[in-house]
Structure formats: structure tokens, C-alpha cells
Amino acid sequence: MSYPKTGNEVYVSLNLSNTMLTGIGDGTVTRETVSADYLKRLFSEYGVIVSGKPSQRALLERINDTYGFGWEIPEKLSLFQLSEEHRRLVVIQVQGLARKEGSLLPQYTEEELDEATFTFVKYYVQSVHYDDLVAENKKLRFDLEQEIAWRNRTDS
């Protein structure tokens, strides 16, 4: 499968680090667990950029094959920062594989990969601070309530 090049691609990685977030300044990040089917629709709309160490290639290929994503997996690590254009990051959570000091190992056997399970967490960045979003939501809710009250008034 070939995904579009939109300039707003979704990043996919096996981890999340603070350096990925430095491009957004003050803002809000939301997090939600998503399905593989949801991701296929998301990738079809925005495109996808996969980021992983060369040693993680076999693991990424396994995930790609298992879920039929059709990713192009780069030969070398692509570093990135989330920004206004690239607002979405999908972190693949891996369970059932041995780790060393919390990090995935450089390689696994086929049997080990067969035992692994994967979940997908989408992070979405907004350049508006959470407190400002709450204040805006409160104002919009107040305005809506006023409009509803005006429309439902009874002139007696």
C-alpha cells in the first residue's frame, strides 16, 4: 500500500521522548489507544513516516506484516519533532519481549516475536495550552446555553 505525501504525515515510533515534543512550545498533547484499522484510515488520509533504529527493523517489519500496514521502513533512523504540520505520533507499545534496562533488544528470534503483542497509542498535539482550551470551551458552552435559552423562551 502506498500512502500519500501530504506534508502532515503521521509519525510512527516504538518510543516517545521529550525531544519529539520540543517543536511545539506550549501546547496540549492528547493520548488515546487506537486500533490498527483506525490507523490504516489515518495513514490513508495523512500519510505516514516510520522512525526506528536499524536494529528495530525486524520488529517493525513484523508489526507491518501482522497488521498489513504497508509501511515503507527506512534503512536508517529518522529523527523528528512534532509540530503544527506533524501533529500526530503513534507509539507502538510492545509487550512480551525481553528488554535490557527497559529498552528493546537489538534482535529477537522468530519464536520470541510470535509471543509479542502490540498496542497503538496516538498522541495528538495542539499548539494551544490546555488552560486556554478549557476557558474557550467554557465560553462556548455559556454562549450555547444562552442561545438555547433565547430560542426556547416563552413570551407570556
Q: Which of 96, 91, 92 is nearest to 113 (CA)?
A: 96
Q: What residue type is assigned to position 2 of the chain? A: S
Distance from C-alpha of 121 to C-alpha of 142, rounded to nearest angstrom:
33
Backbone angles phi, psi at 98, to 5 degrees: -65, 150
Whole-number pLDDT of residue 13: 93
Whole-number pLDDT of residue 105: 85
Alpha helix stretches (DSSP H) within the chain: 36-46, 57-67, 110-115, 130-151
- Give 116-119 contacts, CB < 8 A, sequence gap 24+: 116/59, 116/62, 118/63, 118/66, 118/67, 118/92, 118/93, 118/94, 119/33, 119/92, 119/93, 119/95
Distance from C-alpha of 107 to C-alpha of 109, rounded to nearest angstrom:
7
- Return the H-helix or E-strand segment holding 31: strand 28-34
Whole-number pLDDT of residue 74: 87
Whole-number pLDDT of residue 129: 66
Task: Give the pTM.
Answer: 0.76
**pLDDT tens digits, the chain, 156 residues: what are they?**
689 899 889 999 998 887 787 777 777 788 999 999 999 999 999 999 999 888 888 899 999 999 999 999 888 888 888 877 778 999 999 999 988 888 888 888 899 999 999 999 999 887 666 677 788 889 999 999 999 999 888 876
